[in-house]
Amino acid sequence: MAEIVLGMWTTHGPTLSTTPDEWLLRLPADHANKAHWYQTGRYDFATLVEMRKSEGLAEKSSLDERTKRNAACRAAMNEMADVYAATGSDVAVIFGNDQQELFNDALMPAFTVFNGEAVWNEPSSDEQAARHPPGIHAAEPGHKPPVYTEYPGHPELANYLIGDLVSNGFDITRASKLPRLENHWHSGIGHAFGFVYRQIMRDQVCPHVPIITNTFFPPNQPTARRCFEMGRTVGRALKAWKSDARIAIFGSGGMSHFVIDEAFDRKIFDALAARDAETLCAIGEDWLQSGTSELKNWIAAAGALFETDLAGEVVDYQPCYRSEAGTGTANGFVYWN
Ligand SMILES: [Fe+2]
């Protein structure tokens, strides 16, 4: 039987692939946004500043702090990549989301399993780059290769997982080719996956199955519970797979953003450490909006990994603030081996 030998949870946001100065490119958008999600409500920038004035966020978003937090994230990413390389897994399953990269409102599946031979990605064209929101294009080398690149899929495992998921009540979308949308801002696999290829696998991408979830876009986002149960089904199927493969599982996304909530993120770490499925499953939709919704990929990976005997620690947690309103991206890294 196949063996799950590694589990990794990682964030993948632009703060991991840009300089502390470049983090501030998002500030004008922070000020312009009248409805930032924070906890279960929506607030403008000035209201967030007032609500959080006792937290010392101006200090926590100073250049000195941003520089320290950026360096700590890079060290954590290196540790994750070193562990991945040392483990020697030969197959991977990656739970990630699509941020209207492959799919848009014309077609937005809830869960998609990629069952093709090749996942492709490529750098943005100049025209695409001009459409990117401020501060996003600078992060591109962190999740896109410098030239058109194909990475190996795993059709046999993907079709086995699709069959198993369907027989367990998950009506799965399948994709054997990644779509190329006309006049679209992006082409190729989304950043949730590209980040793992580039930064954790260091472009040494093993045959793998991307499982793509719509965590962001209403009204068909699967709930936390549904994501956990989907991941648990995948984990059970992997352990029963008649193969001698050594499998790595990734959950890519989160943590709280674009307004950081450290207490919420700690709750996620605590639930992972305690294998506390119910806490993860009970997180309501109003807590899992905007970028924070990507933690559903962590929850799916937890579903797959809680029933293994793997164990490990938090490598690091860095709330990467860029403003006194608490805007930014919280970064976290965990592995179990
Ligand atoms: Fe993301």
CA distance 169 to 249: 22
| Per-residue pLDDT, 135 | 78
How far is ligand 1, taken at its centre, from the CA of residue 257, in Å? 9
153: left (phi over 0), alpha (psi -120 to 50) or beta: beta
CB-based contact 143:194 (threshold 8 Å): yes
Q: What are phi and psi of 92, to 5 degrees?
A: -135, 150
CA distance 214 to 243: 30
pLDDT class of 136 with cuts at 50, 70, 90: confident
CB-based contact 260:191 (threshold 8 Å): no
How far is ligand 1, taken at its centre, from the CA of residue 13, in Å? 5
Tokens of 316: 């690091």
CA-based nearest residue to 10, from 143, 206, 166 = 143
Residue 297 has pLDDT above 90, yes or no: yes
DSSP codes, 94-133: EEEE-SSSS-BTTB--SEEEE-SSEEEE-PPPHHHHHHSP
How far is ligand 1, taken at its centre, from the CA of residue 297, in Å? 10
Name 63's Cβ contacts closer than 8 Å, sequence gap at least 6. Answer: 20, 21
CB-based contact 129:184 (threshold 8 Å): no
* Exposed/middle/buried for residue 205 (C-beta within 10 Å: 0-12, 13-18, 19+): buried
CB-based contact 156:2 (threshold 8 Å): no
pLDDT class of 248 with cuts at 50, 70, 90: very high
Q: What is the pLDDT of residues 72-128, one digit of tens each?
A: 999 999 999 999 999 999 999 999 999 999 999 999 999 999 999 999 999 999 999
pLDDT class of 134 with cuts at 50, 70, 90: confident
Can you list the domains of the chain with their CATH numbers? 3-336 (3.40.830.10)
Match 């592995």 to its residue by tokens. Answer: 335
Name residue 111's beta-bridge partners. Answer: 213
* Exposed/middle/buried for residue 209 (C-beta within 10 Å: 0-12, 13-18, 19+): buried
Q: What 3-state class would DSSP assign to 251?
A: strand
Q: What is the pLDDT of residues 168-224, one digit of tens each?
A: 999 999 999 999 999 999 999 999 999 999 999 999 999 999 999 999 999 999 999
CA distance 222 to 230: 10
CA-based Rg of the chain, rounded to a whole angstrom?
19
- Output the average pLDDT for the chain: 97
Residue 228 has pLDDT above 90, yes or no: yes
How far is ligand 1, taken at its centre, from the CA of residue 191, in Å? 6
Q: What is the mean pLDDT of residues 49-62?
A: 98
CA distance 114 to 175: 5
How far is ligand 1, taken at its centre, from the CA of residue 96, in Å? 9
Q: What is the pLDDT of residues 21-49, one digit of tens each?
A: 999 999 999 999 999 999 999 999 999 99
How far is ligand 1, taken at its centre, from the CA of residue 167, in Å? 30
Residue 267 has pLDDT above 90, yes or no: yes
How far is ligand 1, taken at its centre, from the CA of residue 244, in Å? 33
Residue 310 has pLDDT above 90, yes or no: yes
pLDDT class of 148 with cuts at 50, 70, 90: very high
How far is ligand 1, taken at its centre, from the CA of residue 112, in Å? 17
* Exposed/middle/buried for residue 54 (C-beta within 10 Å: 0-12, 13-18, 19+): exposed
CA distance 280 to 278: 5
CA distance 103 to 97: 10
CB-based contact 259:315 (threshold 8 Å): no
